[in-house]
Structure 1
């Protein structure tokens, strides 16, 4: 969570200017030449002012009243910077806004928001900063049981250059009622990013429009700032540092700072620097290098190569955890596949999901155990496991590998052999000879050959380990070859959900 900047003067600390309580309105033109003496160079166009829009954004061409957000992309004609474009409604619940205090709400806990349910803006000529604050604002229509507190700052760095800072203190809703939402959620979800309005230059948060991601903007650390909930972009000579061109094959090299890079479409090569970088390949077949620092890499659609480098690096797969598959390669790399994605991970320690992180090694272990237990079920019970049963056994096995009190693979197999379902299929009291013949018949679908039968009879006679024998039969080359297609198809439909996150 990032506290709102709250030392800007005025009664509530957000300056003295605010938009009257409204739904879908915007300010008059605001002249910013006292801050940006050379204008605001935004992708080659120079502006001297802008409009503050109640619905979570500012625009340079004209005020924007659109309450249902659209993709912030090449089709946008009005230059926009949007920290949280959604249907903000600052009107009070009593219908009559006779006084500013009529719309006050309880401030969000733990931050510096003030509960005014208003959109404020401040022109700081000393620090060359323009700040817009959406202070505990509600959503359409006059709903304030959930409120959001967020901020936008444009900070002059001289000669028309500037920094864009998005600051998120508390996000609890994503959608207004008129955008097909219910209780502030669902429907057409809020979006964040910016566009030059020229059809060429734009950037949208990679998971903009995804409800879980937008609700966690205040906790997210996928930023060029060391502070959770703060997103920062530097605009230099009209271009955003680290953003590629649409439809181009770009090569972008990072700085020693914490960089945000976006290759967008095209087959790009993006290389981070010394800091903790967030690197997104976008569409196309991209190569991403984190290098030093703790980096977050997003391959995007296509066949991508992600090289983490030094530090603790993450590959991000937000929103697609239930379709993800991962396997290890002989050269120490990992292959991650999902619909429209095939990534090779090298020196990547973590896979990040909406609800937490999973180590790459652990994710591979989960997949391998899922495959083994699917074979156990298929071998012993002539059926594939339900998700609940599979999740139980895999987590039990993982708990052991993490030093807990879970089971071993042999112990789990013995538990299968002791189960009521197994005894119904194989009988309650079978001797070793009968047990071996049943394994051949039920698992390998054939009669035991003499050599194999004698070998297993000798093995079980010396160890009395039926669980170990089940493991060997289920993992035999013969059974794997017989069931490979069926098991693989099943695993494609089994998510990584319900497994331990770190």
Structure 2
């Protein structure tokens, strides 16, 4: 881990060596979650509205236990089994009992220009051809080496041209005894998805070699409209 002090802007950046599937990421002052058990970020105002299955959101919360919520933070550390038929939309990169007081960093960053948008545009057009997509905004949340186990996960939200997508990226994840789940769920579970095997704690280390877009460790979903668009346009499933 390398800490770099930018004296001009008085910010500290954290650069991590991560697999190629992760977008370049620096954790600057102001975009790290507090080291609080079952804590969350403050409300984050989005630089661009994000359309999630028909609902438009302008804010988000990054929760320390591995998931994103829109209307309010969540301290819940035991994942609900999707579908929950609940009252909130949720994106779970890897929802489980984490504790960033002990080790690791939970952080987030937004992009409206630069190489991250270029990479996102190329990725989405590869996974969802014929859309002629151009990314105008990317939001990345990362749970990096958070206790109680080796844990590198990021959830990326991508939007542009009235389309919205989620990328879930997985590095090394050790087996845990805690309940786990990865995927997403919507209000009343009209749309939901559970990444195969992610709700079995004994097999979550396989997430780094699983995929629905032929890129080990990455899952991609279109989420601006219905379930058909979100999954069926993706490529073949890899899960071992």
Paired position in structure 1 for 2:212: 223
Paired position in structure 2 for 1:207: 197
Q: Which entry has the higher C-alpha Rg, 1 or 2? A: 1
Cα separation, partners in 2 of 1:15 and 1:235, compared to 1, 3 Å = farther
- Separation (CA, whole Å) in 2 of partners of 1:196 and 1:81: 9
- Asked whether the 8 Å contact 2:39–2:64 carries over to 1, the reply is yes
Deviation at 1:27, TM superposition (A): 1.2
Cα separation, partners in 2 of 1:241 and 1:64, compared to 1, 3 Å = same
TM-score when normalising by structure 2: 0.75
One of 140, 143, 147 as aligned partner of 1:134 = 143
- Separation (CA, whole Å) in 2 of partners of 1:195 and 1:6: 24
Cα separation, partners in 2 of 1:40 and 1:125, compared to 1, 3 Å = same
Paired position in structure 2 for 1:87: 97
- Asked whether the 8 Å contact 2:108–2:142 carries over to 1, the reply is yes
- Separation (CA, whole Å) in 1 of partners of 2:218 and 2:169: 5
Paired position in structure 2 for 1:498: none
Larger proportion of strand: 2
Paired position in structure 1 for 2:169: 167
- Asked whether the 8 Å contact 1:50–1:60 carries over to 2, the reply is yes
Q: Give 5+ residue unaligned stretches, structure 2.
A: 1-17, 118-136
- Separation (CA, whole Å) in 1 of partners of 2:19 and 2:35: 25
Task: Say if 2:151 is the partner of 1:148.
Answer: yes
Q: Residue 223 of structure 2 aligns to a residue in which SS?
A: strand
Q: 1:77-101 CA distances to partner (integer Å, 9 max, x unpaired)?
A: 2210001000110113xxxxxxxxx
Cα separation, partners in 2 of 1:218 and 1:137, compared to 1, 3 Å = same
Paired position in structure 1 for 2:110: 123
Deviation at 1:240, TM superposition (A): 4.2
- What is the CA RMSD across the aligned residues, in angstroms? 2.3
Paired position in structure 2 for 1:277: 236
Cα separation, partners in 2 of 1:208 and 1:7, compared to 1, 3 Å = closer
- Separation (CA, whole Å) in 2 of partners of 1:125 and 1:62: 24
Q: Give 5+ residue unaligned stretches, structure 1.
A: 93-102, 104-116, 140-145, 175-184, 245-253, 260-275, 279-295, 297-351, 355-502
- Separation (CA, whole Å) in 2 of partners of 1:132 and 1:203: 19
Higher relative contact order (CA 8 A, sep 6+): 2
Paired position in structure 2 for 1:53: 63
Deviation at 1:6, TM superposition (A): 5.8
TM-score when normalising by structure 1: 0.37
- Asked whether the 8 Å contact 1:217–1:229 carries over to 2, the reply is yes
Deviation at 1:241, TM superposition (A): 4.4
Paired position in structure 2 for 1:417: none
Paired position in structure 1 for 2:85: 75
Larger proportion of helix: 1
